[in-house]
Amino acid sequence: MKEYVSWTPRLTTHVDTIDEQHKELYQRLNSVVDAIMQGKGKEEVEQFINFLLEYTRFHFGTEERYMEQFQYPGILTHKTDHERLTREVQTMAEQLRSRGADSMLVVSVTQQMGQWLGDHIGTIDTALGRYLKTRL
């Protein structure tokens, strides 16, 4: 499968569970784009979008449990950013659902999502990783 957005080593948090989930998140985002680019039917695209949404929730839940368990001081800021990202993924999903066949839109939405995913992981998650690393 073609990779439209990629996880890169600069995004490592040094916490294996979180890094694996981040890679899976990128995979699922790529699956959505791939399904659209390949001209898959609405139902199939919808399924990939749902896999992505489900996994986003699951992954944020994992990080938030770590933060609670180890009393991470930055938990509120981090959770607020997760809420913002969740809304953005939902908006993205809406756009893809309504104009799925428009490949220009798909490319721009994907780049946008890859960008904020990278920004969040590269700053907020790596900070969490540094904190957890001393406690896990």
Contact residues: Fe ion, CB under 5 A:
63, 125
Q: Residue 18: how many CA atoms within 13 Å on its side-chain side?
A: 26
Looking at beta carbons only, is 19 or 63 nearer to Fe ion? 63
Shortest CB 120 distance to Fe ion, Å: 6
Helical packing angle, 16-37 and 103-119, nearest 10°? 170
Looking at beta carbons only, is 32 or 81 nearer to Fe ion? 81
Shortest CB 107 distance to Fe ion, Å: 25
Looking at beta carbons only, is 19 or 125 nearer to Fe ion? 125
Shortest CB 19 distance to Fe ion, Å: 12
CA dist., res. 110 & res. 65, Å (int): 28
Looking at beta carbons only, is 45 or 120 nearer to Fe ion? 120
Q: Rg of the chain over CA atoms, in angstroms?
A: 15
Shortest CB 108 distance to Fe ion, Å: 24
Contacts of 61 (CB under 8 A, 6+ apart): none
> Which amino acid is located at 37 in the chain?
M
CA dist., res. 55 & res. 74, Å (int): 23
> Which amino acid is located at 61 in the chain?
G
Looking at beta carbons only, is 21 or 45 nearer to Fe ion? 21
Shortest CB 79 distance to Fe ion, Å: 9
